[in-house]
């Protein structure tokens, strides 16, 4: 049985009507926040973790993509497991798949919201959501459409950093105390909260509360050398999404998660989150990774990923 209520996902999320950037501005202004430029992709500080040479997946950040007209290329079909047989596979797509024909008839889809960095928007976001909205089957226990977002904790390397516990027109309850603009744990929490707020309300996503949001935690983005601050950053994101009744999961490898966050205690809101694990090279390998250790001791591996012919394919473990 799925840990998500698939029927609830089906009932909550009506047919998506594409929102506009103006609508996002109106929503944000209504809660007292007027968006401004965000350039949080500065050079990582010396204490930051540097990305390993080998990329974990096709979701790793790179040069920004540009939107283009819909492709007329033939749609790729899903790869089959090396041992034969048929698997119901999903796909995750984002800016690396801009200008490409997307896989045909996936069992479910996960769409990247950002353009490789936590403060950007995937230029093909709505074309890819339109593709995902054509999915009608519900045979894997996964929501038909989920979202994933880039995460980071740049501190002083970014051109924006919180100076208080106020964001989105409200005072945010901060479990780590008051943010006063320092590069510390309280402000890291507020940074994560703010990034999640921006992703939900400033990227023209209709009904953000109806999605499962995966936090993409990879060493390719800027992180502090302080694991407590990085954990607080992700807790801030999770608290925001929970505040709008959205579900949250974590995407990472065990190695990268260990470098960035490390062990998570039962008192953290990250402790029970489900895991999505990359690293397999075949569908059968992805299936085998369902038995791997989750990223947090209280979580469960519900999704695994492998890469084939330039696309990410995902196997449901539930």
Which structure tokens are listed for 17?
Answer: 């009507």
Write out the H or E segment, with its range, that includes residue 21: helix 21-30
Domain extents in the chain: 6-37+86-316
Q: Among the listed ranges 20-29, 60-69, 86-95, 220-229, which one has the minimum average pLDDT value?
A: 20-29
The whole-chain average pLDDT of the chain stands at 81
Tokens of 201: 């309300």
- pLDDT tens by residue, 144-193: 999 999 999 999 998 799 999 999 999 999 999 999 999 999 999 999 99
Q: Widest CA span of the chain, in angstroms?
A: 58
* pLDDT level of residue 76 (50, 70, 90 thresholds): low
Token pair of 273 as six digits: 């989150």
Please give the average per-residue pLDDT across 297-312, as a whole number.
95
Sign, CA dihedral 130-133-135-139, equals: positive
Q: What is the β-pairing status of strands 170-171 and 275-280?
A: unpaired
Q: What is the mean pLDDT of residues 68-80?
A: 46
| pLDDT for the residue numbered 59 | 44
Q: 74 is written with which tokens?
A: 């033939």
In angstroms, rounded to a whole number, what is the distance separating the alpha carbons of residues 195 and 119?
A: 7
Superfamily for domain range 6-37+86-316? Glycosidases (3.20.20.80)
How confident is residue 78, by pLDDT bands cut at 50, 70 and 90?
Answer: low
pLDDT at position 100 over 70: yes
pLDDT band at 75 (very low <50, low <70, confident <90, very high): low
pLDDT of the residue at 136: 74
pLDDT digits (tens, 9 = 90+) for 104-134: 999 999 999 999 999 999 999 999 999 999 8
Residue 24 or residue 277, greater confidence:
277
Between residues 61 and 159, the one the model is more confident about: 159
CB 257 within 8 A of CB 214: no
Say how far residue 189 (Cα) sits from the centre of its chain: 17
How far out from the chain centre does Cα 108 lie? 15
pTM over 0.85: no
pLDDT greater at residue 140 or residue 2: 140
């Amino acid at each position: 049985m799925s840990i998500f209520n698939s029927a609830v996902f089906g009932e909550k999320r009506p047919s998506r009507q594409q929102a506009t950037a103006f609508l996002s501005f109106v929503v944000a202004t209504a809660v007292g926040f007027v968006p401004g430029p965000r350039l949080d992709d500065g050079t990582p500080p010396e204490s930051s973790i540097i990305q390993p040479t080998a990329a974990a997946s096709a979701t790793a950040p790179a040069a920004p993509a540009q939107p283009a007209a819909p492709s007329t290329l033939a749609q790729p079909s899903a790869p089959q497991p090396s041992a034969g047989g048929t698997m119901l596979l999903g796909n995750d797509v984002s800016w690396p798949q801009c200008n490409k024909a997307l896989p045909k008839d996936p069992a479910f889809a996960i769409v990247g919201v950002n353009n490789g960095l936590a403060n950007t928007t995937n230029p093909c976001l709505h074309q890819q959501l339109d593709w995902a909205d054509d999915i009608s089957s519900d045979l894997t226990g996964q929501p038909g459409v989920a979202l994933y977002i880039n995460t980071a904790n740049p501190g002083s390397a970014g051109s924006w950093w919180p100076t208080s516990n106020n964001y989105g027109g409200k005072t945010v309850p901060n479990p780590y105390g008051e943010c006063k603009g320092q590069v510390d744990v309280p402000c890291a929490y507020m940074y994560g909260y703010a990034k999640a707020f921006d992703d939900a309300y400033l990227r023209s996503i209709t009904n953000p509360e109806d999605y499962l949001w995966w936090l993409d935690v990879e060493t390719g983005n800027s992180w502090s050398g302080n694991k407590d601050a990085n954990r607080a950053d992700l807790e801030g994101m999770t608290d925001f999404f929970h505040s709008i009744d959205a579900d949250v999961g974590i995407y990472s490898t065990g190695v990268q998660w260990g470098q960035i966050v490390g062990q998570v205690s039962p008192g953290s809101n990250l402790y029970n989150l489900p895991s999505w694990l990359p690293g397999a090279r075949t569908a059968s390998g992805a299936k085998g990774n369902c038995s791997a250790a989750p990223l947090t001791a209280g979580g469960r591996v519900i999704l695994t990923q492998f890469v084939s012919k330039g696309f990410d394919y995902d196997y449901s473990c539930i």
